[in-house]
Chains A and B, each alone.
Chain A
């Protein structure tokens, strides 16, 4: 079941730009859903819409459809978020910032130290936020999002400004919380490498439109399906004919045996078939079957 579902969610800014264009978001229960897209794709705008910070021009948002909250105040008690940090009071210390939220969420005092500890801020908790580095502010914002043990945590580029070690720490914290406390995460990112290590589910957004949505495994499958196959044989002419008749495939470049958008499982069959017809295969190589290329393909190809 889904923790969060949107239907045809759209937002048009005053300047007429469609920043979010009919998005059907489906965040399954207890998933780590990564919302991936390049700069300006509409990730932050989508998260703002979800949190009610801006109004959708069209579409619906449905949180916890199984056991919905009666009103916004009750709903916000179940969600933790940080959007485009830092959103902190710079004239206050870390612990004072946390205390304001603890007060609003009615969380016990003991929990404050717990989250500060969890995000590695225990030593800096009495420092003013104005003296924090970007990474420390980011950590504090995440601490606040986790403070009241919400069922769903929405994080907008949480690793922004963190050092590699910090990124790894936050990642393992998220995975742990997801496993042990069954917290669902919706995390935006523009780094595919990060998403690969973290996500169970992924949504790829570009220019306000959802280009792909599914499990991480489905993304891998889609990417391998869209790969290129390059062949070299001792009789390219005959090989081309055979492949055309047996597999109904035409090369994308004339003269060379390069095929695109094919299923990777075909390579074995092609190789065997050519062998049966006594054509020697000197090279059989896959290209662009990695996620990176597939991601670029998704956001560059206007027809997809």
Chain B
């Protein structure tokens, strides 16, 4: 990594660190595991480890991800991406950012890396909280045992790497739109439309044509509920559509007429 880019990354992180974005990511990751913990404490007979020890971890993991993958996660991506890019518009700081000795390329990718790292932070903390939500009920409730075996960490890690990949198209599009429109309503509205399109695509045998459905399709694959056989691998499609969206964003950032 060249040092200029390292500096740009540091600058972007300094801007991001004190925004609510980091907190939103962590609270967002906490929400479902918290609900799952309470549900187990309330209904130990049907929900807890003791109800089905053999499949406990995989069920907890899949249940937790169910709401997350289809709705909350895409929504969070839209929110956080728009918010972080909006910082520059809202504070009128594009001009200040762009007159510092950093190349446009550096600035563009540094911001993007920070946002995708936040996504990664979210994944890691969400899975960590899921694991905790599997252990804590056993510690708090006398009728519930602490699970005797480890969660399937290898599967979780692989699933998450793939999940991150399938989120990139939405992230790329959202990043491009947020940079393009100073009014944050526009990217958020388009992003929401994309989420809805993604939900419809889940019922469609040609659903692979909608890049915003890839994370949901990936969830189906990782939870063993695969419905369609697509002619193309959605992970490759994720990568390709991300490169297209982000590429358009990069070019429009480079050639933007009015820079601040």
Interface residues of A (CB under 8 A from B): 48, 51-55, 72-77, 79, 81-84, 86-92, 96, 99-101, 103-106, 144
Task: Name the distance in Å between A62's Cβ and chain B's nearest Cβ.
Answer: 18
- Asked whether, in the complex, the Cβ of A104 is within 8 Å of the Cβ of B91, the reply is no
Asked if B10 lies at the interface with its beta carbon under 8 angstroms from chain A, I say yes
In the bound assembly, the distance between CA atoms of A173 and B18 in angstroms comes to: 32
Task: Report 5 cross-chain contacts, Cβ distance below 8 Å, ordered by A residue.
Answer: A48-B260, A52-B259, A90-B91, A91-B18, A92-B15
- Asked whether, in the complex, the Cβ of B99 is within 8 Å of the Cβ of A76, the reply is yes
Asked if B4 lies at the interface with its beta carbon under 8 angstroms from chain A, I say yes
Query: Which residues 202-258 in B have Cβ within 8 Å of A in the complex?
Result: 257-258
Asked if B59 lies at the interface with its beta carbon under 8 angstroms from chain A, I say no
Most buried by A among B15, B96, B98: B96
Query: Which residues 164-186 in B have Cβ within 8 Å of A in the complex?
Result: none
- Asked whether, in the complex, the Cβ of A87 is within 8 Å of the Cβ of B10, the reply is no
- Asked whether, in the complex, the Cβ of B93 is within 8 Å of the Cβ of A89, the reply is yes
- Asked whether, in the complex, the Cβ of A74 is within 8 Å of the Cβ of B93, the reply is no
- Asked whether, in the complex, the Cβ of A105 is within 8 Å of the Cβ of B101, the reply is yes
- Asked whether, in the complex, the Cβ of B15 is within 8 Å of the Cβ of A89, the reply is yes
Query: Which residues 5-61 in B have Cβ within 8 Å of A in the complex?
Result: 7-8, 10-11, 14-15, 18-19
In the bound assembly, the distance between CA atoms of A164 and B66 in angstroms comes to: 63
Prevailing SS type, chain A contact patch: mixed
Task: Name the distance in Å between A108's Cβ and chain B's nearest Cβ.
Answer: 14
Asked if B155 lies at the interface with its beta carbon under 8 angstroms from chain A, I say no
Asked if B157 lies at the interface with its beta carbon under 8 angstroms from chain A, I say no
Task: Name the distance in Å between A256's Cβ and chain B's nearest Cβ.
Answer: 54
In the bound assembly, the distance between CA atoms of A87 and B94 in angstroms comes to: 8
In the bound assembly, the distance between CA atoms of A88 and B257 in angstroms comes to: 22
Partner of B101, one of A77, A86, A92: A77
Q: With contacts A77-B101, A92-B15, A104-B101 known, is A87 near B257, CB below 8 A?
A: no
- Asked whether, in the complex, the Cβ of A96 is within 8 Å of the Cβ of B18, the reply is yes
Query: Which residues 60-80 in B have Cβ within 8 Å of A in the complex?
Result: none
Asked if B142 lies at the interface with its beta carbon under 8 angstroms from chain A, I say no
A54 contact set on B, CB distance < 8 A: 257-259
- Asked whether, in the complex, the Cβ of A86 is within 8 Å of the Cβ of B257, the reply is no
B92 contact set on A, CB distance < 8 A: 84, 86-87
B7 contact set on A, CB distance < 8 A: 103-104, 106
